[in-house]
Chain A
Amino acid sequence: GQNIDQPTEMTATEGAIVQINCTYQTSGFNGLFWYQQHAGEAPTFLSYNVLDGLEEKGRFSSFLSRSKGYSYLLLKELQMKDSASYLCAFLSGDYKLSFGAGTTVTVRA
Chain B
Amino acid sequence: IAGITQAPTSQILAAGRRMTLRCTQDMRHNAMYWYRQDLGLGLRLIHYSNTAGTTGKGEVPDGYSVSRANTDDFPLTLASAVPSQTSVYFCASSDAGEPDTQYFGPGTRLTVL
Q: Chain A residues near B100: list those with CB within 8 A.
A: 30-31, 91, 95
Chain A interface extent, by class: 20 to 34
Find out whether the CB atom of A42 lies under 8 angstroms from the CB atom of B90. Answer: yes
| A-side interface mostly | strand
Q: Chain B residues near A41: list those with CB within 8 A.
A: 106-107
Query: Provided the pairs A96-B48, A97-B45 are in contact, do residues A44 and B101 lie with their beta carbons within 8 angstroms?
Result: no
Question: 0/1 per residue, B36-48, Cβ < 8 Å to A?
Answer: 0000111111001
Question: A35: shortest Cβ distance to chain B, in Å?
Answer: 8
Question: B56: shortest Cβ distance to chain A, in Å?
Answer: 9
A87, CB-defined interface residue at 8 Å: yes
- Pick the residue among B42, B58, B105 that contacts A96 (CB under 8 A): B58
Size of interface on B: residues with Cβ below 8 Å to A: 21
Find out whether the CB atom of A43 lies under 8 angstroms from the CB atom of B90. Answer: yes
B70, CB-defined interface residue at 8 Å: no
Docked pose: A20 CA to B106 CA in angstroms: 25
Question: B36: shortest Cβ distance to chain A, in Å?
Answer: 11
Docked pose: A2 CA to B94 CA in angstroms: 22
Q: Chain A residues near B35: list those with CB within 8 A.
A: 99
B53, CB-defined interface residue at 8 Å: no
Docked pose: A41 CA to B88 CA in angstroms: 10
Q: Which residues of B contact A (CB under 8 A)?
A: 33, 35, 40-45, 48, 58-59, 90, 99-107
Question: A87-B43, A97-B43 given. 14 additional CB < 8 A pairs?
Answer: A31-B100, A33-B101, A42-B107, A43-B90, A48-B99, A50-B99, A89-B43, A96-B48, A96-B58, A97-B45, A98-B45, A98-B59, A99-B43, A99-B44
- Interface CB pairs A-B, < 8 A, 27: A31-B100, A41-B106, A41-B107, A42-B90, A42-B104, A42-B106, A42-B107, A43-B43, A43-B104, A45-B101, A45-B103, A48-B101, A87-B43, A89-B43, A91-B99, A95-B100, A96-B45, A97-B33, A97-B43, A97-B102, A98-B45, A99-B35, A99-B43, A99-B44, A101-B40, A101-B41, A101-B42
